[in-house]
A and B are shown apart, each in its own frame.
Chain A
């Protein structure tokens, strides 16, 4: 023991984490926290053309979810072989400061999976036969995450606006909605605290005019009839999101 120096403690102990207490929901019939109703989607704000360098871009905000997306293309693709149709390449990333726990700056497996999901959600919607041998590159960054499934749905909606802003021809806009099952009820647009409490997560992306489902993702136990109910509820939500997207595009044109 060095007497010339002031030594620190020999044993270090992990700091005690105090679990935050959830505010009790005072309403007796309140199923969700924050007094939201089961079919309430957080109000959406979308602004296109925010990144000047990109062909198209959009910024999406819904309470505590903030997403920015840039679309480049159609441009020459170095990675694919010759094909008579264009290809879509997507990179989805959570900003390191966006989640509760710091995400690294290298994409992890979940982000790579979400990138693939977004690519599959848009393949039926974009007129790729007009862009042979070219690639449409989509880059999405989540600036603030409040519910991972809700972020994925929001990203899909944001990308539709960015693609339209880039002038890329599409068969229809793609809207996406997320849901979860709380106490047997299907609740739309779950935030992070609701997502942590339940186990079931549901996300659906839909083309409202053509009435086609372009992607569905569900984890967690649900009865078959409940998942069918969730599909119907999410489709209604997508129809309302479409009016918001139309309004935003027409106003900024």
Chain B
């Protein structure tokens, strides 16, 4: 378990009260991030995002699956059953997320140590993305109502860790979903009320996911002492006693909110945090979208030549 000395903790806390963090940022300043999309050829969409040293790789795969409604109970997949339990309609697809923290990212992630954090992050992602607050139009993922739908599997691999894991994951997820292409399906009626569908093999025919622009990003606010900071580094996270995660979409609506860690906070501070998160979230999404557009432009100019991966 990572430890921090009391003097270091005191140094960081006093610096934050004076609005000066160890790397010179103010309390509400974000670090710069670099992004690459479309790097994994086998996935329907992918993205790699680096927020300073925190490094996350997301692969999105779309697969055809059965629509599991509330009445059937023969599904053995616990995770999918949980998601379905929260849905009622039989004309929606679903998104299944899983997070894996690679042991090479941090000593804490070795062996069973990562299980808790993997479960927690996967649960948060599933909760935010499945539902109208997740932005994605789940009805558009349905192929044959009551029978078949597209299932979007979002798999996150954490390659390196320097704090603020959840924000990085959501930023990268939004970029990966923008990059994902779903093959076009043609539905044919073969009589007797039965429907069959064909998947088009043409890559050019694949469509973007409807509603990717409304996918929210999270802003993690860490309370240290009596003030709070955004985008904490690993050391600053060790000084935190309360952490609030707020998911914001591009319209400034709150899509999810959750508190973690062991402290408590004043309602007035919580209110202030929500307002700050809303502003920061909107700016983050704007920055991300601009970066993605820029990347598209560069890619089209360079004729899709990709150089090296771990640069």
Interface positions of A (Cβ within 8 A of B): 14, 17, 101-102, 108-110, 112-113, 116, 120, 123-125, 196, 199-200, 206-207, 210-224, 226-228, 231-232, 235
Q: Report the bound CA distance from A109 to B103 in whole Å.
A: 23
Let me know if A219 and B256 touch, CB within 8 A.
yes
List the A residue with the shortest CB-CB distance to B241: A124
Point out the residue from B78, B255, B264 that lies within 8 Å of A220, measured CB to CB.
B255
Let me know if B260 and A227 touch, CB within 8 A.
no
Binding site secondary structure of chain B: mixed
Point out the residue from B254, B260, B265, B278 that lies within 8 Å of A218, measured CB to CB.
B254
Query: Could you tell me the distance in whole angstroms from the C-beta of B48 to the nearest C-beta in chain A?
Result: 27
List the A residue with the shortest CB-CB distance to B134: A221
Q: Report the bound CA distance from A218 to B257 in whole Å.
A: 5
Point out the residue from A124, A206, A217, A224 that lies within 8 Å of B275, measured CB to CB.
A224
The answer to whether the Cβ of B102 comes within 8 Å of any Cβ in the partner chain is no
The answer to whether the Cβ of B226 comes within 8 Å of any Cβ in the partner chain is no
Those of B243-278 within 8 Å (CB) of chain A? 244, 249, 252-267, 270-271, 274-275, 278
Q: Kindly list the 3 A-B residue pairs having the minimum CB-CB distance in the complex, ordered from nearest.
A: A218-B257, A123-B262, A124-B264
Those of B68-118 within 8 Å (CB) of chain A? 70-71, 73, 78-79, 81-82, 85, 88
Let me know if B254 and A214 touch, CB within 8 A.
no
Q: B15 to chain A: which residues have CB within 8 Å?
A: none
Let me know if B254 and A227 touch, CB within 8 A.
yes
In the complex where A124-B262, A213-B266, A216-B270 touch, is A112 in contact with B119 (Cβ < 8 A)? yes
Let me know if A217 and B258 touch, CB within 8 A.
yes
Let me know if A221 and B133 touch, CB within 8 A.
yes
Query: Could you tell me the distance in whole angstroms from the C-beta of A216 to the nearest C-beta in chain B?
Result: 5
Those of B213-252 within 8 Å (CB) of chain A? 244, 249, 252
Interface positions of B (Cβ within 8 A of A): 70-71, 73, 78-79, 81-82, 85, 88, 119-120, 123, 127-128, 131-133, 244, 249, 252-267, 270-271, 274-275, 278
Query: Could you tell me the distance in whole angstroms from the C-beta of B95 to the nearest C-beta in chain A?
Result: 14
Q: A200 to chain B: which residues have CB within 8 Å?
A: 133
Identify the interface centre among B79, B81, B249, B256: most chain A CB within 10 Å of its CB.
B256
16 A-B contact pairs sorted by A residue (CB < 8 Å) = A101-B73, A110-B82, A112-B119, A120-B262, A123-B263, A124-B264, A213-B259, A214-B259, A217-B257, A217-B258, A219-B128, A220-B131, A220-B256, A221-B254, A228-B271, A235-B267
Let me know if B266 and A113 touch, CB within 8 A.
no
In the complex where A124-B263, A199-B133, A231-B267 touch, is A218 in contact with B82 (Cβ < 8 A)? no
> Can you name 18 extra interface pairs (CB under 8 A) apart from A116-B120, A212-B265?
A17-B71, A110-B82, A112-B119, A123-B263, A124-B262, A125-B264, A213-B265, A216-B244, A216-B258, A218-B254, A219-B127, A221-B254, A223-B253, A224-B252, A224-B274, A227-B254, A231-B270, A231-B271
Let me know if B267 and A120 touch, CB within 8 A.
no
Q: Report the bound CA distance from A116 to B274 in whole Å.
A: 23
Let me know if B82 and A108 touch, CB within 8 A.
yes
Q: Report the bound CA distance from A232 to B249 in whole Å.
A: 23
Q: A222 to chain B: which residues have CB within 8 Å?
A: 253-254
Point out the residue from B71, B127, B255 that lies within 8 Å of A221, measured CB to CB.
B255
Let me know if A113 and B267 touch, CB within 8 A.
no
Identify the interface centre among B244, B252, B257: most chain A CB within 10 Å of its CB.
B257
Let me know if A220 and B119 touch, CB within 8 A.
no
List the B residue with the shortest CB-CB distance to A99: B85
Identify the interface centre among B82, B88, B267, B271: most chain A CB within 10 Å of its CB.
B267
Q: A124 to chain B: which residues have CB within 8 Å?
A: 262-264
Q: Report the bound CA distance from A220 to B86 in whole Å.
A: 12
List the B residue with the shortest CB-CB distance to A217: B258
Q: A231 to chain B: which residues have CB within 8 Å?
A: 267, 270-271
Query: Could you tell me the distance in whole angstroms from the C-beta of B121 to the nearest C-beta in chain A?
Result: 11
Q: A235 to chain B: which residues have CB within 8 Å?
A: 267
Q: Report the bound CA distance from A196 to B82 in whole Å.
A: 15
List the B residue with the shortest CB-CB distance to A234: B267
In the complex where A112-B119, A199-B133, A216-B259 touch, is A224 in contact with B265 (Cβ < 8 A)? no
Let me know if B131 and A219 touch, CB within 8 A.
yes
Q: A218 to chain B: which residues have CB within 8 Å?
A: 254, 256-258
Q: B256 to chain A: which residues have CB within 8 Å?
A: 218-220
Q: Report the bound CA distance from A136 to B273 in whole Å.
A: 32
Q: Report the bound CA distance from A2 to B128 in whole Å.
A: 55
Query: Could you tell me the distance in whole angstroms from the C-beta of B159 to the nearest C-beta in chain A?
Result: 25
Q: A227 to chain B: which residues have CB within 8 Å?
A: 254, 257, 274
Q: Report the bound CA distance from A116 to B123 in whole Å.
A: 12
Q: Report the bound CA distance from A91 to B183 in whole Å.
A: 44
Q: Report the bound CA distance from A109 to B99 in whole Å.
A: 14
Point out the residue from B73, B85, B266, B271 that lies within 8 Å of A211, measured CB to CB.
B266
Q: Report the bound CA distance from A93 to B39 in whole Å.
A: 42
Q: B252 to chain A: which residues have CB within 8 Å?
A: 223-224
Q: B271 to chain A: which residues have CB within 8 Å?
A: 228, 231
Let me know if B264 and A221 touch, CB within 8 A.
no
Q: Report the bound CA distance from A222 to B255 in whole Å.
A: 6
Q: Report the bound CA distance from A231 to B257 in whole Å.
A: 12
